[in-house]
Amino acid sequence: MTIWRDYRDAGVLVWGVGSNEPVDVLERFRDQLGITFPILNDVDGSVFEQYSMTNGLPTAAYPQDWIVGVDGTIAYINNHYEPAQMISVIDSELDR
Protein backbone atom coordinates (compact mmCIF):
# COMPACT_ATOMS: atom_id res chain seq x y z
CA MET A 1 0.00 0.00 0.00
CA THR A 2 1.68 3.19 -1.15
CA ILE A 3 -0.09 5.17 1.58
CA TRP A 4 2.12 3.41 4.10
CA ARG A 5 5.25 4.16 2.11
CA ASP A 6 4.37 7.80 1.51
CA TYR A 7 2.71 8.77 4.79
CA ARG A 8 4.29 6.80 7.59
CA ASP A 9 6.87 9.53 8.13
CA ALA A 10 3.98 11.98 8.53
CA GLY A 11 2.64 9.92 11.43
CA VAL A 12 -0.01 7.95 9.58
CA LEU A 13 -0.47 4.40 10.81
CA VAL A 14 -1.63 1.59 8.59
CA TRP A 15 -2.88 -1.54 10.31
CA GLY A 16 -3.99 -4.63 8.50
CA VAL A 17 -6.57 -6.62 10.43
CA GLY A 18 -7.05 -10.31 9.83
CA SER A 19 -10.06 -11.84 11.50
CA ASN A 20 -10.69 -15.47 12.30
CA GLU A 21 -7.60 -16.50 10.40
CA PRO A 22 -4.81 -18.82 11.59
CA VAL A 23 -1.49 -17.07 12.15
CA ASP A 24 0.28 -19.04 9.44
CA VAL A 25 -2.36 -18.01 6.92
CA LEU A 26 -1.89 -14.37 7.89
CA GLU A 27 1.88 -14.74 7.61
CA ARG A 28 1.56 -16.25 4.17
CA PHE A 29 -0.75 -13.46 3.13
CA ARG A 30 1.75 -10.90 4.37
CA ASP A 31 4.63 -12.58 2.59
CA GLN A 32 2.77 -13.09 -0.62
CA LEU A 33 1.61 -9.51 -0.93
CA GLY A 34 4.81 -7.98 0.41
CA ILE A 35 3.03 -6.20 3.24
CA THR A 36 5.33 -4.23 5.52
CA PHE A 37 2.80 -2.56 7.81
CA PRO A 38 1.67 -4.40 10.97
CA ILE A 39 -0.94 -7.09 10.57
CA LEU A 40 -3.10 -7.37 13.67
CA ASN A 41 -4.53 -10.72 14.53
CA ASP A 42 -8.19 -10.41 15.45
CA VAL A 43 -8.31 -13.97 16.76
CA ASP A 44 -12.00 -14.25 17.53
CA GLY A 45 -13.28 -11.74 14.99
CA SER A 46 -14.64 -9.44 17.70
CA VAL A 47 -13.01 -6.32 16.26
CA PHE A 48 -14.24 -7.14 12.82
CA GLU A 49 -17.78 -7.48 14.17
CA GLN A 50 -17.61 -3.95 15.54
CA TYR A 51 -16.48 -2.53 12.23
CA SER A 52 -17.89 -4.74 9.57
CA MET A 53 -19.84 -3.60 6.58
CA THR A 54 -22.34 -6.00 5.21
CA ASN A 55 -23.36 -6.19 1.64
CA GLY A 56 -25.90 -7.89 -0.52
CA LEU A 57 -23.14 -9.16 -2.77
CA PRO A 58 -20.93 -11.56 -0.83
CA THR A 59 -17.91 -11.01 -3.05
CA ALA A 60 -18.09 -7.30 -2.39
CA ALA A 61 -17.53 -7.55 1.34
CA TYR A 62 -13.72 -7.27 1.13
CA PRO A 63 -11.53 -5.41 1.35
CA GLN A 64 -12.89 -2.92 3.86
CA ASP A 65 -10.92 0.23 4.40
CA TRP A 66 -11.52 2.57 7.31
CA ILE A 67 -9.69 5.70 8.35
CA VAL A 68 -9.84 6.82 11.96
CA GLY A 69 -9.17 10.55 12.10
CA VAL A 70 -6.81 12.39 14.42
CA ASP A 71 -9.71 12.93 16.83
CA GLY A 72 -10.55 9.23 16.97
CA THR A 73 -13.67 9.43 14.83
CA ILE A 74 -14.41 7.58 11.63
CA ALA A 75 -13.28 9.70 8.69
CA TYR A 76 -13.63 7.22 5.84
CA ILE A 77 -15.43 3.99 5.08
CA ASN A 78 -15.19 2.10 1.83
CA ASN A 79 -15.38 -1.48 0.72
CA HIS A 80 -13.56 -0.78 -2.50
CA TYR A 81 -9.91 0.21 -2.59
CA GLU A 82 -9.81 3.85 -3.67
CA PRO A 83 -6.31 5.14 -2.92
CA ALA A 84 -6.91 8.64 -4.25
CA GLN A 85 -9.91 9.09 -1.97
CA MET A 86 -7.99 7.73 1.00
CA ILE A 87 -5.11 10.08 0.36
CA SER A 88 -7.39 13.10 0.22
CA VAL A 89 -8.94 12.11 3.57
CA ILE A 90 -5.49 11.59 5.10
CA ASP A 91 -4.26 14.94 3.78
CA SER A 92 -7.23 16.74 5.30
CA GLU A 93 -6.71 14.93 8.61
CA LEU A 94 -3.05 15.93 8.67
CA ASP A 95 -4.05 19.55 8.08
CA ARG A 96 -6.37 19.59 11.08
Partner 1 sequence: MTRLVATLPVAFTIAVYGGLAGCTNTPCKDGFLMNARNQCVPDTLDTLDTTDTGTTTDGWVSLPDNCTAPDGLSDDPLQLVARPEDDEPQQGGPLYEMLDLAYAPTEELMYAVGQGGLIVWELQTPSIIGTFPPEGHSRYHQIELLSDGLVAVSHRDRGIEIINVSGDPSTYSVDYFWPIFGASGMAWIPPYLYVTSQDGELDTLKFKNEALTPVSTVYGLEAPWVFVIDGEHGWIADNLLGIVPIDLSDPELPVIGESVETVGGALDIVHHTNNSGQEALYVATGSTGLQVFSVDEAGLPVAEMSIPYSNSIVSVAADEDTLWIVGHEDVAVLDISDALNPIPIGVEETQGFGLHVEAEGATGWVADWGQLAIYQVDSLVLAPSIDLSTDAPLMGDSNEVTVTLGNRGGATLNLFGATSTDPRVTILSSTDEVPSGESGEIKLLFTGDDQPLDATICLASNDPENPTLMLQLSDQSEIQSSIAYGETAPDFTLTDLDGTTHRLSEQLGHPVVLVYFATW
Under the binding rule (CB under 8 A), the answer on residue 31 touching partner 1 is: yes
Give the contact letters, 39-68, x = binds to partner 1 (CB under 8 A), - = no. xxxx---xxxxxxxxxxxx-xxxxxxxxxx
Which residues have a Cβ under 8 Å from the Cβ of 25 and sit 6 or more positions away? 18
In the complex, the smallest distance separating the C-beta of residue 8 from partner 1, rounded to whole angstroms, is 9
Instruction: Return the number of other C-beta atoms located less than 10 Å from residue 90's C-beta.
Output: 20
Q: Is 9 in the site for partner 1 (CB under 8 A)?
A: no
Is residue 72 a contact point for partner 1 (CB under 8 A)? yes
Phi-psi region of 34 (alpha: psi -120 to 50; beta: other; left: phi over 0): left
Asked if residues 14 and 8 have their Cβ atoms less than 8 Å apart, the reply is yes
71 counts as binding partner 1 under rule CB under 8 A: yes
Report if residue 73 touches partner 1, rule: CB under 8 A: yes
Residue 79 Cβ vs partner 1, minimum distance, rounded to whole Å: 6
- The answer to whether residue 18 forms part of the interface with partner 1 (CB under 8 A) is yes
- Quote the radius of gyration of the chain (alpha carbons, Å): 14
